[in-house]
Amino acid sequence: MNNQQKPQGGNLTNLMEFVLLGFSDVPHLQWFLFGLLVVIYCFIILGNGTIVIITRVDSALQTPMYFFLGNFSFLEICYVSVTLPRMVFNLSTQRRTISFMACATQMCCTLILGATECFLLAVMAYDWYVAICNPLHYPIVMNQRVCSQLVIGSWISGIPVQIGQTSQIFSLSFCHSNQINHFFCDIPPVLHLACGNIFVNEMMVFLGAVIFVLVPFLLIVFSYSKIISTVLKLPSATSQAKAFSTCSSHLAVVMLFFGSAIITYFRSDTSHSGLTDKVLSLFYTIVTPMFNPMVYSLRNKDVTIALRKFLCKQFTKA
């Protein structure tokens, strides 16, 4: 973070709307991208929605692991619905404007849901840690009350901080342009338009990233280091392979989501570029929700069996 004094000229503090540039640099691909994003959004809703349903209705999936997975899938639906429909709308109408209030609302919701995802991934890692490292105490430690408290805490803990951070950013003066070189109202491109000394704002963003991104990530790393240590002590190679296979799907989602988020929010202001920010944002807003159903269903025998039972029942009713 740099103590950067931005020029005061061309003050647009009272602007009523922003312009999301998005994919405007590739005009010949607009309709292709429109179709692609519509397909991706439908896949995300259908895939994650199916996981939410089967983890609720299948008696074999009434365990803490699938309780967290159902909440995670519902979260992914909410998370992608904050940004992707707007991208599709902008591509179809070529009307890229977004009101000041809508931009602030989109940023706030994205930050709150992003913080929830970080905490929920950490909770899921803790669940794996207890299941593998302390299997005898697992039913006692991860009882229904504790699981509910962990999920509720994940959902609400980021709300006051992210509302405050969004209010602070949108109370700034904006200069030169109202054009946001991004797909949605994310912190780095919006701060890039701000006038005056934004050092305090950058430090608040950095502190928020430490609390909501780095701390959960370190907890996940700690959990998995304990898991790996325990698994390596198992007597048979078959048991080791089974344990690693069980955790690998969660670890894949963790690396994809946290990797892109950490690079985005821990880079210095001078190293930010519009193209890099766009590419990274695609990973933590679209790619992760899209891969979630594939990772957790194709690699999970219980989910696959439950899905087959669910589909068979639907076809039988039809």
Instruction: Tell the burial category of 15 from Cβ atoms under 10 Å away from its Cβ (0-12, 13-18, 19+).
Output: middle
**Looking up tokens 């979630």, which residue turns up?**
292
Q: Spell out the residues 6+ positions from residue 184 whose beta carbon is closer than 8 angstroms to its own.
A: 20, 82, 83, 86, 87, 106, 107, 110, 281, 285
**Looking up tokens 């039972």, which residue turns up?**
309
Confidence class of residue 298 from pLDDT cuts 50, 70 and 90?
Answer: low
Stated as kind and residue range, the H or E segment containing 18 is strand 17-20
**Looking up tokens 């003066």, which residue turns up?**
173
pLDDT at 149: 97
At 250, the amino acid letter reads: H
Backbone φ and ψ of 179, nearest 5°: -90, 120
What average pLDDT does the segment 193-216 reach? 92
pLDDT > 70: what percent of the chain?
Answer: 92
Backbone φ and ψ of 184, nearest 5°: -150, 175
Confidence class of residue 1 from pLDDT cuts 50, 70 and 90?
Answer: very low
Rounded Cα distance between 164 and 286, Å, is: 26
**Looking up tokens 């509302």, which residue turns up?**
163
pLDDT at 11: 52
Beta partners for 6? 196
pLDDT at 270: 59
Instruction: Tell the burial category of 237 from Cβ atoms under 10 Å away from its Cβ (0-12, 13-18, 19+).
Output: exposed
- Give residue limits of the domains in the chain: 17-309
When computed from its CA atoms, the radius of gyration of the chain, rounded to whole angstroms, is: 21
Q: Do the Cβ atoms of 219 and 125 come closer than 8 Å? A: yes
195 HSE (CA, 13 A, CB side): 15
For 106-136, give the DSSP string: HHHHHHHHHHHHHHHHHHHHHHHHHHHH-TT
Rounded Cα distance between 303 and 53, Å, is: 11
Task: Give the model confidence (pLDDT) of 56-103 as tens digits.
Answer: 999 889 999 999 999 999 999 999 999 999 999 999 988 889 999 999
What fold is seen in the domain 17-309? Rhopdopsin 7-helix transmembrane proteins (1.20.1070)
Here the tokens at position 10 are 């061309």
pLDDT at 72: 94
First-to-last alpha carbon distance for the chain, in angstroms, is 59
pLDDT at 88: 94
Rounded Cα distance between 79 and 40, Å, is: 14
Here the tokens at position 109 are 């919701």
Give this prediction's pTM: 0.90
Task: Give the model confidence (pLDDT) of 303-318 as tens digits.
Answer: 888 888 888 887 777 6
